[in-house]
């Protein structure tokens, strides 16, 4: 694990673990859920091993894996590794992929079974790259869940052009995937989306009570 990480990737590995711990501390990785990855300089990907508490993640818990799924070294990568790899193969500009589970993203993906969620009028829309104002409309695609990562990857590929401007998508009843050119940008996108999703869930609850 840590011994398999190239010396020039140690700082990035530490940054990815710090990011995972940040979201875990906010309750977004319950029951060892969530997974985090970054593209390495040699074309491989560093991804979290399966079944670990993300609140205590360290570089020793990251596994180097090739884009074709070949694991270098020992360990068991996340069950959702295939979806991360599909994103990296689809867009060479993606440098990090982050996946978490929150009450807001899980419920909103199920209420009314939407194929897309729309957001407008929120200042936090500016957290998503390419959105300079609250005046535009942000669209977050929702994919049906599957335990088969090939099925999910195929569904994502069909809607990637829709997901790309959002730098993310939801999996129904499951969680959100967000990405960026590097770990810091992916983290900003994920923070922004989680804030927007929490606002939207609260808005719907308030409207129901009024």
Q: Is 134 annotated as a binding residue?
A: no
Q: Is 189 annotated as a binding residue?
A: no
**Residue 23 CB-density burial (10 A; 0-12 exposed, 13-18 middle, 19+ buried):** buried
User: Rounded CA gap, 35 and 55, in Å?
Assistant: 12
Strand order through the sheet with 96-100: 62-65, 45-48, 35-39, 96-100, 175-180, 168-171, 137-143, 116-120
The residues facing 36 across adjacent strands are 98
Binding residues are: 99, 101
Binding residues for Zn(2+) are: 99, 101
């Amino acid at each position: 694990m840590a011994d398999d990480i190239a010396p020039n990737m140690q700082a990035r590995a530490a940054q990815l673990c710090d990011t995972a711990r940040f979201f875990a501390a906010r309750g977004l990785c319950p029951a060892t859920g969530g997974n985090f990855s970054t593209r390495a300089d040699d074309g491989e990907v560093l991804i979290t091993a399966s079944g670990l508490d993300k609140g205590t993640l360290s570089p020793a818990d990251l596994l180097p894996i090739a884009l074709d799924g070949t694991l270098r070294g020992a360990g068991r990568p996340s069950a959702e590794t295939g979806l991360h790899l599909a994103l990296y193969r689809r867009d060479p500009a993606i440098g990090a992929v982050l996946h978490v589970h929150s009450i807001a993203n899980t419920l909103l993906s199920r209420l009314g079974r939407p194929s897309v969620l729309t957001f407008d009028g929120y200042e936090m829309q500016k957290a998503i790259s390419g959105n300079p104002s609250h005046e535009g409309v942000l669209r977050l695609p929702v994919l049906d869940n599957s335990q088969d990562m090939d099925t999910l990857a195929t569904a994502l590929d069909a809607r990637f052009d829709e997901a790309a401007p959002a730098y993310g998508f939801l999996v129904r009843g499951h969680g959100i995937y967000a990405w960026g050119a590097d770990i810091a940008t992916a983290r900003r996108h994920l923070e922004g989306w989680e804030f927007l999703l929490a606002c939207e869930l609260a808005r719907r609850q308030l409207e129901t009570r009024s």
